[in-house]
Amino acid sequence: MSAHSTLIGGSSAERLLNCHGSYQLIQRLPVQEESSSEFALYGTAMHAVMDRLLEFYSDGLPADHEPMMDTAFELLGEVFCDRELTEQHLDESIYPAIDALYAIMNEYGGGFRSVGTELRVRFPNVPGAFGTTDLLLASASHVLLIDYKFGAGVPVAATYTMSDGEIVNAQLLYYLTAAMHTFPQWFKKKRKLAVAVIQPRVDVKFSHTEVHPDEIKHFAQDVEAAVEKAIGRDPQLNRGSWCRWCSAKPACPKWVGPIKELAVFAHVRDVPGEVTTPDEFGDFLSAALTLADMVKDYIKTLEDSAHRWVESGNNVPGWRLEPKKKLRKWIDDENQVARELDALGFREDDIWQHKLQTFGVTDKAAKRLGVKIPDHLRYLPESTETQLARDSGNHTKIDRLTALAMLEASVAQLNSRKG
């Protein structure tokens, strides 16, 4: 959980490999202070708990997960980073992470020991490129690199399926390549290589894959080539999923473009049915929706970036910070509330409500108990309402320029009709 290198690190490897121009664009922007969100602070604390647990078993991990579970329970009430460890933390993050850890180790034959936690590693042949591994394990047959993700939002996988086949998560490859370069003594004896992600707060708790040494060699070469292009002249910008956490995204031409282009066509009126054919108007709506969809994520990025910028004491003309509106809550003493409402003449059912727990809570309880909730207790209500959704069977993914060309053609077609 330490600072990342400026040029490339584990979290930025995928972005630099796919968008060489992002590095110089970031360097041209004012330095933005990174605010520690609640999600980041939570993750830091849970990482610290897992690190503490591994300290108890530096000589070797127990054969099964029960001793580690018991040790975790004994840590209740201790403060990790900024918060006290609670049973909710154990249930939601630590216990599932331990379960996942043992499931992964068993996949590779067991018998692992902890080589190190929070290891600072250096990437080969790229000056200033480093990173920090979460957990490195070794057995007689394998070296296993584990990366924890304690967020409950975006799922992260060890591998991704692309049009040209399955690829390994670039962050995991970066850490594994750097670990092999920094600690070569742990990668001898022809041990096989494996990487894994543990993410206990999403539906798929873990994923893993073996990595062939050739993949490490080719990845290192790709990173060297990407870095050379990134620091060279006029590196290319490329928009994609790797833009999610890029600090230059608000000012990137690949993201600013769609919002400007959409504004150009915002004046187009809803043409009456008799003026144009249904097919022509449908084509226009399809092209306009595609471009508008590209703008949605950019708007959220702008809002988040502006919020951090103003929060850091900077100025965004026309915008300011104000207290976030929150809903009123009852005071913590429910009995006092009930007594005083009762004294005012409230009936019992005016004060208290009794209802079933949410599916999320009951599903967790069922998993803990090892039982299945009967299907007849839950049903999916029929809906008479509709909502717009992409037609996956009749939708071809297109880029911004194609979407713009389609929109221009549709607008031209609409405007050529006579009213």
Q: What is the pLDDT of residues 302-332, one digit of tens each?
A: 888 888 888 888 888 888 888 888 888 889 8
Of 289, 282, 8, the closest CA to residue 170 belongs to 8
What is the reported pLDDT for 419? Answer: 45
CA-nearest of 5, 6, 7, 33 to 20 is 7
CB 246 within 8 A of CB 15: yes
- 120 strand-pairing partners: 132
3-state SS class at 195: strand
What pLDDT score does 300 carry?
A: 85
Q: Are 269 and 288 in contact (CB under 8 A)?
A: no
Using alpha carbons, list the distances in angstroms from residue 194 to 25, 175, 180, 404: 34, 12, 12, 43
pLDDT on residue 97 = 97
The pLDDT value given to residue 46: 96
Angle between helices 95-107 and 66-74 (to 10 degrees): 160
Contacts of 187 (CB under 8 A, 6+ apart): 143, 179, 180, 193
Kindly tell me the burial class for residue 72, based on how many C-beta atoms sit within 10 Å of its own C-beta (0-12, 13-18, 19 or more).
buried
List every span in the chain annotated with CATH 3.90.320.
13-230
pLDDT at 254: 85
13-230 is classed CATH 3.20.20: no
Say what the pLDDT of residue 415 is.
Answer: 55
Instruction: Report pLDDT for 408.
Output: 67
Paired tokens of 147: 């990366």
pLDDT for res 214: 95
For residue 311, which amino acid is it?
Answer: E
- Which of the 8 DSSP states describes residue 3? P
Would you state the pLDDT for residue 256?
79
251-266 in b/e form (b: 16+ CB < 10 A) is ebebbebbeebbeebe
Q: What pLDDT score was predicted for residue 276?
A: 60
CA–CA distance, 11 with 4 (Å, rounded to integer):
8
* pTM, rounded to two decimals: 0.74
Q: Are 227 and 8 in contact (CB under 8 A)?
A: yes
**Hey, how many other C-beta atoms are within 10 angstroms of the C-beta on 61?**
23
pLDDT < 50 stretches in the chain: 1-3, 269, 271-275, 418-419
